[in-house]
Amino acid sequence: MANDMTIQKAQEQVDVWIKTVGVKYFSELTNLGILMEEVGELSRIMVRKYGDQSFKNKEEELLLADEMADILFVLICLANQTGVDLTTALEKNIQKKTNRDASRHQNNEKLHR
């Protein structure tokens, strides 16, 4: 089955979920705090899976993809609450990086080792 989820559809789907299942959006500041918590959870898994720390007890069962999805969900909530169209924002951000870094990374010897 093809996955046809777009960023726009994700923003719409999260909005519907929040207004039905979730009742209403948490405040922007609360969602910012939740976002930081979720990033911390992703960090814990990454440090143990790819870094030098080892997993404790059942932590190995935590799913990297699920933590990333939690982060995306809360980020979408914040975008919806603040009127940010993430599709447009990402397109502009990629263009900004392309213009700014057109030769920067190509000329970085550290990336060619």
pLDDT, tens digit only, all 113 positions of the chain: 567 999 999 999 999 999 999 999 999 999 999 999 999 999 999 999 899 988 877 666 668 999 999 999 999 999 999 999 999 999 999 999 999 988 888 888 888 88
State the pLDDT at residue 91. 98
Helix (H) or strand (E) run with residue 65 in it: helix 64-82
Cβ within 8 Å of residue 71, ≥6 positions away: 35, 38, 39, 42
- For residues 14 and 78, give the distance between their C-alpha atoms in angstroms, rounded to a whole number: 11
Domains of the chain: 21-112 (1.10.287.1080)
With contact defined as beta carbons under 8 Å apart, do 28 and 82 qualify?
yes
State the pLDDT at residue 104. 86
State the pLDDT at residue 40. 97
- For residues 63 and 40, give the distance between their C-alpha atoms in angstroms, rounded to a whole number: 14
